[in-house]
Amino acid sequence: MPLSFPENLPVRVDRLERLLNQLYTSSQTRPAQDTIRAAALTIGDPAGPHIKLIPTGDDGAEVWLIPAAGAEPTRLVADVTTGYPSEATFHVLSAAGSTSAEFNVASGEINMSVHNADGSGEAGGQAYWGYDLAAFGYINGSTNNFFRFSPSSISSHVGQWNDYGQPLGSSAGIVPGSLTVPGGNSFWGVSYPASMASNMGPVATVRRSTPNFYWCLTASSTSGFTMSQVGTESFAIYFWSFRH
């Protein structure tokens, strides 16, 4: 019996080839996903180093970098704060042991600071750059020691200066201090804690219970300076010596 083919066979074969090509392409292509809804997405082995995306669900946009199972994560946080309600600020938070650290970037400030382990309070070094204030130093709520700079060209210091009797090396820029000279001395030599690396400029004054007397600074070197008075009454010396 002779074979017969439909008149549109070439068209049918062409359609079949195109359908097979489409099926093959679909089998090799991952469907597009523009949204992943999950409480948390973990990348890597939870028993070792791994990354968590949105670890707190819809409570905030965070990425946790966890170096080992059970370790405190380094947190990358984008959140809206009360200070900047119309923008998402960027936080890097890390905690281990008794302290935690924070790095914050927003349109009006950059802040790096050390906090307590739970993220509260101030517990160490801090550097703050804002549009209306800049500060750098150590803050823990009780023994604060930092510099503050305002946009009005005014700077200030909170804390104390190292007394010259405490260890200061030869490269110290400022050697401040005070001392009391016992009675019976008409002059007194003040020695720096080290032989300074360059010339020193002592700015000094004296205090004595009996007023109206002559005194002056009679000698200065990289090792110290000498203060002299008329008389031998006990007196106090206050000084601020700068290296130049």
Q: Cα separation of 90 and 77, whole Å?
A: 6
Residues 6+ apart with CB under 8 A from 228: 186, 187, 215, 216, 217, 218
Q: What is the pLDDT of residue 143?
A: 86
106 belongs to a structural domain: yes
Residues of the chain with pLDDT under 50: none
What is the model's pLDDT at position 91?
74
Query: Which pLDDT tens digit goes with each residue over 177-186?
Result: 999 999 999 9
- Could you tell me the residue range of the domain that residue 233 belongs to? 174-243
Residues 190 and 136 in one domain: no
On whether both 45 and 153 belong to a single domain, the answer is: yes
Report how far residue 125's alpha carbon sits from residue 172's, in angstroms, rounded to the nearest whole number.
21
Within this chain, do residues 139 and 237 fall inside the same structural domain, yes or no? no
How confident is the model at residue 243, as a pLDDT?
Answer: 94
Q: Which distant-in-sequence residues (6+ apart) come within 8 Å of 92 by Cβ? A: 74, 75, 76, 77, 102, 103, 104
Query: Which one-letter DSSP state was computed for residue 63?
Result: E
Please tell me the distance from the alpha carbon of residue 17 to that of residue 25, in angstroms, as a whole number. Answer: 12
Choose one of 158, 188, 212: the last residue of a domain. 158
Report if residue 188 sits inside a domain.
yes
